[in-house]
Structure 1
Amino acid sequence: MKKALQLLNKIQHGGGENVAMNYAKVLRELGVESVFIGKRTSAEYEAQISTVGTIQETLRFSDIRTADYLFVHTNKNLLKLFFLYLIPLKVMRKKVFYLQHLQFPEKKFRLLAFFINAVCTDFIQITPITKTLVDKYINIRKRFIVNFYISRYNKADYPSIRNSVRAELEIPEDKILVMFSAVFKPGKGLGDFLEVAARFAGRQAYYFLLIGDGPEAEMARQYKFPNLKWVGFVNDVEKYLIASDVYFFSSVFKQEMLPMALVEAINAEKKIIAYNTAINHFLLEGHTCESIQEMEAALLDQGGAKTFPHFDKQYALGKIGEII
């Protein structure tokens, strides 16, 4: 069986780490086993990620020699490859893929591109909002693969999951459940979600579910109406999404490259209410809101969920199958 190295800084909960795990799931179905290389910092996450690959802390020359593919998820590992393994990579003609998970200002990206072009064979662009800089500075083969989400659950199990989660939360089946999930920090839109929930406090048909925690948690603690349940951070957001009817995405976070929470909600075929940002416009094909008043109106609209392009397992099998 072929082997891929997933080069991370740490084995812990995080956006890049979750992307690496999803890549590993798809690669395994395509006959490629993954080795996650990064510092062990979370036993809980290590248990999750070890179901789809092996884990080690240090990158060795023997790993590079026996690997068929290298996926570079962090700039630290990009520099390590450049300074320690550039010649062997070229001599052995290894396929090296760089995934840009974060936005960078042009000056930094121009410098970063020097190392990417020197070390890697392919650049994986995960979002359309970086296209201008990528086209300007990346000279190697460019691939456009939106970060995808591999669902934990089969669609056939959704009804039973929905019933069990609602029973656990003591939320009646006839309530329209509106869910928000995020790290509570500036730009993520917690305040707007709470404001809309407050405006709906007198509407008995609606109930609001809040998932997450963070620096702005005091806003949630001060919420005074009984139409909202806050469950904090959870390991399995997907089951709560399945139990919900509407996903409320009020983030205007400027550094948002590709919101996986939104991708997950699209794949789960939920009704989605979101602001008009560049990435939301792309994912939701322009079906977005310009103001909190429009979001409120969209929530009152009893129309069902719109169907958007899914970035799911089938999408991933096709895209990754092409690059390997």
Structure 2
Amino acid sequence: MQQPNEGPGDAPTLDEVARLAGVSRATASRAINGGNRVSATAQAAVQAAVESLGYSPNQAARSLVTRRTDSIGLVVPEPDERVFTDPFFVHTLRGVNRVLAARDLQLVLLLARPGDEERRMLRYLRKRHIDGALVVSHHRNDRLADYLAALALPCAFVGRPFTSADKVAYVDTDNVAGGRLATELLIERGCRAIGTITGPGDMAAGADRLQGYRAAMREAGLPDDAVVEGDFTELGGENAAKELLARHPDLDGLVVASDLMAAGALRVLSGLGRRVPDDVAVTGYDDLGVSERTVPPLTTIRNPIGEMAEHATRLLLEQIEGERERQAIRVIFPPSLVVRGSA
């Protein structure tokens, strides 16, 4: 025989919670939906009644009261094939979800290529189906920082946005210092013909790592013109390495702006019979697992993306909870060098 409240139609009601707690229905509702204008005694009584009855509030009704969806959007303006194959995004998702899971909040992944997908995503943000947005891997032309700042939707960026960086919160690593650190290592090793495969020029990380490379080369009195732009993918690194080595066959050092691209470049060097690090020393950037599996293992710059994603998520939640005003907070993590066999 079924016991009371076990059947699908016998879920405990708000009225039952109110009766058991000895308060009005309105007081019970306020206690469940945030505790506004509810005494500590009544709040405790309602909480005890909820636990005793196994009451679960109707989320749609609760949202009408709190205007909260208990969900956070992770906005990634990249093709889905990149998101599900690049370890950068895997570590980002893990970092975000670690913080949200502890708060019992839902993560909503929003992917958007330029065009119809991007317009659909912007409509979704405008209608506030989420409480706030985290943005990662953004480009100059997507102008998401401009849009979110104008919308006044709580937001935080992982990586410095190209535009409106003074209007939104963001967490980044010092990519200029990282690019300089990798280049200085090769200079100290004795390399003198050092080229670089950069990230996309329309992303702050790509531009900043190139700036660090050029600063180190100029300080050493070395030419900084051996530059080819990549796209942060393994195939992109392979194609860029072929172009760079065709133009500068005498390279003895190669600074690559991501480990995935460096893995592609190592294949090209192997195919040309160039030994690493004896003939060409190579550095990557990220240290998210790829660098340990290449042959030889990559010397790289650690990009603390997991910690950055966690910190950005906490900044966003502070905005949503009203603990922090929506303002341009900037948090910068220092890069660090991880030395392995390629340099």
TM-score in same-fold range (> 0.5):
no
Q: Hey, which of these two has a bigger chunk of strand by percent?
A: 1
Structure with larger Rg: 2
Calculate the TM-score normalised by the size of structure 1. Answer: 0.36
Structure number with greater CO (CA < 8 Å, separation at least 6) is: 2
Calculate the TM-score normalised by the size of structure 2. Answer: 0.34
